[in-house]
Chain A
Amino acid sequence: MTNFFLQALAEVGTPSVLGLIFIGVLFGIVGGSIPGFTVTMAILVVFPFTFAMDPVSGVSLMVGVFVGGYSGGIVSGVMLGIPGTPSSITTVYDGYPMAQKGEPGRALGIGVASSFLGTLISVAVLVFFGPLIASFSMNFRPWEITALIVFALTLVAGLSSGALLKGLMAAALGLLITTVGYDRNSNLRFDFGLPALGSGFEILPVMIGIFAFSQLLGNIEKIKDEKSEAKKIDTNVTIPYGQILKDMTGQKLNILRSSLIGSLVGALPGTGGTVANFLSYDQAKKFSRHPEEFGTGTPSGIVASEASNSAVAGGAFVPTLALGIPGDLPMAIMMGVLILHGITPGPMMFEQNPVLVGAIYASLLIGAVVMVICNLLLVRWFAKISLIPQQILVPVVLMLCAIGAYALNNNLFDIWVLFIFGIIGYLLWKAKVPLTPLILGVVLGDNLERQLFRALELNESWMTFLTRPLSALFLALAIASILFSLYQDRKIQRLKGL
């Protein structure tokens, strides 16, 4: 693996790829800085630009956006008191009070340093556990893969904040979308007499439509609902490097704990940065000698929040690369990028594309360094950019989405697909249907059907799914995750009733 990593490092180290990582990190930070824009949206906007690139360049650019995006929430969190992304909510708890006390530079510096260390630790987790899980899952046959995908979908649906039924229904709906068009036996399905539907729906326009429209139009509704005042901020920030070094030296354990929590949570399907953020903040408070200082501008709070949400980046790559199952929405899109470049994420990727896997590791590491440089040097610009109003942002991003969908195959039909799924996504979002299981269903649908039928072609009996130990274990876990979600829902309802 070391040879491949060095080979990958040489490929990633070329000026053009380094330039792409720099652009990716820069755009990611900008995306993360703008409240309501999110990392996922930044990834979706950059995605089309990778179409014409070779896999290493495309993936490096996307990894750059990923690393930058998870750290971008610091700026708006500290300067405006508004989390740029949901995964930086707890950064606001201590970052904003510290900035209010006249130390915005210190808050930003601690946040950036923690983000950097969090990313590094998560890359170490990825490098260690990725190949380990991949080599274990090499023994998976179609029964195990089918059961694992079912488990991942039920887990994500079950974590859809009190909407288990809708989450499961959304996952099934996502899978159903992938059945349109010619199947593996060249049989046409659900074309309704329209030739354009013969080739089915491309994943990208469906994903962008469902996610981007609901989020962007939701932002517009929010602006209409709450007439927000124009915020004025002082962008004249100086970073006190000596003070930050002192702050960070006393946070070794906090950094390690929060980064490991972030990596672990990132590796679990359906969780992501927001869960990691709250979990590590809570743990840091519990382990602290001065828990009363949390929420008043303590460095420990910023460290816990930023180290954990940045560590999600590396952790989330573990199931995506090792099992071919994305854990969250940004990873589902990342998987779409890999598929688009002809690479199928999964255990075989470590054998078939070791250089690309190495390129992902290298891009994460280089991205983390670039992120620190960009954040420290350009912080006042990011603070200004975070004030871009949604009224300007929404039309621009919608236009970029349309061009991105078109550029995929130079096909205008894809813009219509984007539009139709935009309407569907918006209506589902209004009906409080969780969209993550839906998108995950779209990404995993083809593989699920292929594996299911391969299993049934090898052995017609459905009972084989229960007689093979690992397959039975995954199915049992799927049922357990549903039962646990039901129990949680009941508990929440009982608490609401009190």
Chain B
Amino acid sequence: MLTLTKDRALALALLLIVAVMWRESGSIAPPTSWQPYGSALFPRILLVVIGVFSLLILVRSLLVKVPERAGAKQLIHEWFQSRRTILALFLLFGLYAALLPVVGYIVATIGFLVASLALLMGVNTRRKWMINLTLSCTLAIVIFVVFRYGLNVWLP
């Protein structure tokens, strides 16, 4: 069985994207009588270019010998395991984006900063908690004041 490498995963993902977008490009309006080429031409040229390069990346990755490793499922599991902090940070950012319109800028920002600082710095000492809370509250409020009153930018 073939081992899943970064290049192979990249090429396969891109080929999938190309296939989906090529199909979607079929719904773009055709050119009118006064247009020599339609709106689908430019993205289709790019899709062909990306498709060809993805295929070349795939072929090149198949020509390189890689040591036998665990199956794709196991590798993906290991990849997720070793990047728990990064994934948690992405999750926190997603939550922040979702909560921003619901609870407003100040609460959502303080929540995001406290949670992500706790995740990265740890919360094993009182000092770390103090730094975390002081920084989160001060920064959220200072940024709000600068944008709202200094730059006249409305924040939710």
Binding site for B on A (CB under 8 A): 49, 51-53, 165-166, 168-169, 172-173, 175-176, 179, 183, 185, 187-190, 192, 217, 220-221, 224, 389-392, 394-396, 398-400, 402-403, 406-407, 410, 412, 415-416, 419, 422-423, 426, 428, 430-433, 449, 452-453, 456-457, 460
Residue of A with least CB distance to B96 = A402
A residues less than 8 Å from B146 (CB atoms): 49
- In the complex, are the beta carbons of B53 and A423 less than 8 A apart? no
Q: Please tell me which one of the listed residues A53, A173, A217, A449 contacts residue B42 in the complex, with CB atoms under 8 A apart.
A: A449
Extra A-B contacts (4), CB below 8 Å, given A406-B156, A412-B156: A49-B146, A395-B120, A402-B96, A415-B97
- In the complex, are the beta carbons of A185 and B120 less than 8 A apart? no
Residue of B with least CB distance to A431 = B10
Considering the chains assembled together, what is the distance between the CA atoms of A391 and B117 in angstroms? 7
Given contacts A52-B153, A183-B39, A431-B7, contact A398 B28 (CB under 8 A): no
- In the complex, are the beta carbons of A169 and B54 less than 8 A apart? yes
Considering the chains assembled together, what is the distance between the CA atoms of A392 and B139 in angstroms? 12
Residue of A with least CB distance to B49 = A172
Given contacts A176-B43, A406-B155, A412-B97, contact A398 B53 (CB under 8 A): no
Q: 20 A-B Cβ contacts within 8 A?
A: A52-B153, A165-B53, A169-B53, A172-B46, A189-B28, A190-B43, A394-B89, A395-B89, A395-B116, A396-B113, A396-B139, A402-B97, A403-B155, A406-B100, A412-B101, A415-B97, A415-B100, A426-B90, A457-B35, A460-B36
- In the complex, are the beta carbons of A398 and B46 less than 8 A apart? no
- In the complex, are the beta carbons of A172 and B50 less than 8 A apart? yes
A residues less than 8 Å from B25 (CB atoms): 189-190
A residues less than 8 Å from B38 (CB atoms): 187
Considering the chains assembled together, what is the distance between the CA atoms of A396 and B38 in angstroms? 45
Task: Give chain B nearest CB distance to A468 CB in angstroms.
Answer: 18
Given contacts A165-B53, A166-B57, A412-B101, contact A399 B112 (CB under 8 A): yes
Given contacts A419-B94, A431-B7, contact A391 B120 (CB under 8 A): yes
- In the complex, are the beta carbons of B154 and A410 less than 8 A apart? yes
Give per-residue flags for B90-104: 1 if the beta carbon is below 8 A from chain A beta carbons, else 0: 100110110011000
